[in-house]
Copies of this chain bind each other. A is one copy, B any other.
Amino acid sequence: MSFSRAASVLTALLALSGLHADEGMWTFDNLPLAKIQAKYGFAPDAKWLEHVRLASLNFGGASGSFISKDGLVVTNHHVGRGWVQSVSGPGAKDYIKLGFLAKTRAEEIKIPGLVIRTLMAMENVSDKVQAAVKPGMDAKAATEARQLAFEALRTDLEKRSTGLEVRAVTLYQGGEYWLYTSKAHKDVRLVMAPEMQAAMFGGDFDNFTYPRHSLDMTFFRVYENDKPYQPLHHLAWASSPLNAGDLTFVVGHPGRTQRQETFAQMKYQRDVGFPVRIATSEARKKALYEYGKQSAEHERQVRTAITNVENGLKATYGYWAGLKDAEAFAELERKEQELRAKVAKDSKLQAEAGQSWAKIEEALKQQKPLAKDASLLNTRGSVQLMRALSLVRLIEESAKPAAQRMKGYQKDEDLAKAKASLERPVRVSENPAMDTFLLVRNLEELKAELAPEHPFRKALLDGKEPAEVAKSLLEGTKMADPALVKQLIEGGVSALAACSDPAVVAARKISPLLVALNAKLEAIQVVISEHAGRIAKARFAVYGKSLYPDATGTLRLSFGPVAGVPGLGTQIQPFTTFHGLFDRALGWGPTVENGAWAMGPRWNERKATLNLETPFNFSHKVDIIGGNSGSPVVNTKAEFVGVIFDGNITMLPGNFYYDEKVNRGGRSIPRRRNPRQVKDLP
């Protein structure tokens, strides 16, 4: 517990009660303009909002913006990284390692597959959708009627919108139905990517950290008819410097929040969900480290896997910490009690949702004893056993009529996807030793955690030792061979039954247990979904649009001032400079932790020409979450002042609630503190 956290105990209740001016990922049709005006003496008008909306871009799970009249686009390096990788090659073409800069438009590299979108229009069709519900329909019939009407409206609008895409958007968990019309840009070219070490200085260590010194940005350009696209709107470079206290706005696509979950669900996550997930990940991390220590080659094999598991653990600990904050947790409970009291006063709402909190709590009680089994039975230890299980699942489900299939296998495209995934070549054949090692560890964990008579333990170990089982199971398996897998898929149920591959034999034994477990979990989930929906509708009936909807990957506006961050028992400065980059690099040296804090080579080469006082990253109090990566940050003049690339670790509980004391976004893009005229970008 850091000092700053403790110091705020006495103000926490005050700070958390009610809605803060800086909380919320608001939709453009429902901004708390009066509150912004009252607090900051400024509120955006319709023209301002249209300008930033039309300059913003959806990167499919992330965000970006137009920053020149010639279609120049900025987003994060970590958003564009996969696309940069896709046009990279070995040696001088290793644009991830070396970076890339197109010196002329002709050098800009077309990126096959990359599509980004501008949100052109939004239409509220709630009344039309609700009108589809006729008197006398039961809940199920009403839901189906709404879905049919919604899809019909969408298709109709799309037909009338030449060259545009229309997406059906549900907000407030069904409180509102909207049609969002987007223009898709399909010719996107790479303009600039910094070298990886500059883009991701500090590596995973500094992920979710501030102060920060990473140049996490990439430039693309949109083309149309082989010419630079001329967007209707683009963000101008800021004409004046940004200072602490200045109001900023973030325009982007936050992906998903769970702030409307019930108190019981959050308690379950705190006491069961996260601890189980963490124990599993820590066990995997430990096994990977042990394997890696065996040789330099083993270390190379597990490096990426370790980074992935540690990255996931860091985020999970962050989410978990939010739920373990006693004051915040008490406030979540208080808010729920407030809603329940309001629902109880309205007989119609009470009849619909009054029992829903208890129903969810009861469902979670049933889920609790299954949590550990579910976690242990995911055989993440062995890639080959995992493939065998997927294969068995696919073949068995394919043999059933669609309606009887397990979730995730019901549509034909689900089956096609699962098939494609299995037929893709895997590299496990390169390191079967690792596969065996991890399976042994996994089986040891299972042996330690489950009683001898537990059906999973019996099915997998049956009294034998983990090492022995793993060896017989993986020695001789051909699960890494796409040809065998393809052949089995084509042969269907009978080929599967006849197959003597040891991993398949084991998978056939475990599969029914997994199916049964899954069925139980799914039945519980159905109850939770049903009642979460009822609560959401009741909440919308009570609070209406005075609240913002949970994030859904659609365009939102967040706002808040540039501010320092409490941490380490002090306040962290709101801006970092290039001095800070050199301080951190020199303080560690270039070799520690595989060079996590080594300077990007170009910084060192050109140090003499850098003005080290140039502001680098900054922190501001804004309500953001995953999906906001790459969002433009603008000032009150709707000018571009930066790009969201991360939040501090104490932001992660934002998944469940917003705490303005500690929630901070960060941004990159160096820009000068002293005002000077910046010419239009190319």
Q: Chain A residues in contact with chain B, CB under 8 A?
A: 1-3, 5-7, 10, 202, 205-211, 243-244, 282, 313-314, 317-318, 320-321, 324-325, 564, 567-577, 579-580, 582-584, 586-589, 592-593, 597, 612-613, 615, 648-650
Contacts and interface: CB of A to CB of B under 8 A. Distances in A.
A648 B569 contact: yes
A187 B447 CA distance: 73
A3 B321 contact: yes
A613 B584 CA distance: 11
A1 B324 contact: yes
A320 B586 contact: no
Copy number in the complex reads 2
A577 B568 contact: no
A582 to B, nearest CB: 4
* Residue of A321, A584, A597 with most chain B CB atoms under a 10 A cut-off: A584
26 contacts: A1-B324, A1-B325, A3-B317, A3-B318, A7-B317, A205-B570, A206-B570, A207-B569, A210-B568, A211-B587, A318-B569, A567-B567, A567-B568, A569-B649, A571-B593, A573-B586, A573-B588, A574-B587, A577-B582, A579-B579, A579-B612, A580-B583, A580-B587, A582-B613, A586-B615, A587-B615
Nearest to A6: B317
B570 A587 contact: no
A657 to B, nearest CB: 15
Contacts of A244: 588-589, 592
B583 A573 contact: yes
A579 B7 CA distance: 30
Contacts of A593: 571
Nearest to A320: B6
A571 B649 contact: no
Given A2-B649, A317-B3, A584 B573 contact: yes
Contacts of A586: 573, 575, 577, 579, 613, 615
B206 A10 contact: no
A583 B579 contact: yes
A592 B563 CA distance: 12
* Residue of A5, A6, A573, A576 with most chain B CB atoms under a 10 A cut-off: A6
Given A1-B1, A574-B588, A579-B612, 10 more contacts: A3-B314, A3-B317, A3-B321, A6-B321, A207-B569, A208-B569, A210-B568, A569-B649, A573-B597, A579-B579
A480 to B, nearest CB: 33
Contact of A580 (B202, B580, B650): B580
A215 to B, nearest CB: 16
Contact of A5 (B1, B202, B209, B571): B1
A1 B582 CA distance: 28
Contacts of A575: 586-587
A321 B243 CA distance: 34
A573 B211 CA distance: 12
Contact of A568 (B3, B282, B592, B649): B649
A572 B211 CA distance: 10
A615 to B, nearest CB: 8
A583 B577 contact: yes
Nearest to A208: B569
A583 B574 contact: no
B208 A3 contact: yes
A564 B579 contact: no
Nearest to A592: B244
Contacts of A320: 6
A597 B244 CA distance: 14
A587 B577 contact: yes
A653 to B, nearest CB: 10
Contacts of A577: 582-583, 586-587
A436 to B, nearest CB: 25
Nearest to A575: B587
Contacts of A650: 2
Contact of A583 (B6, B202, B576): B576
Contacts of A210: 568
A205 B571 CA distance: 7
A491 B579 CA distance: 67
Contacts of A211: 583, 587
A589 B573 CA distance: 9
B564 A588 contact: yes
Nearest to A617: B587
Contacts of A209: 568-570
A276 to B, nearest CB: 13
A656 B244 CA distance: 39
A314 to B, nearest CB: 6
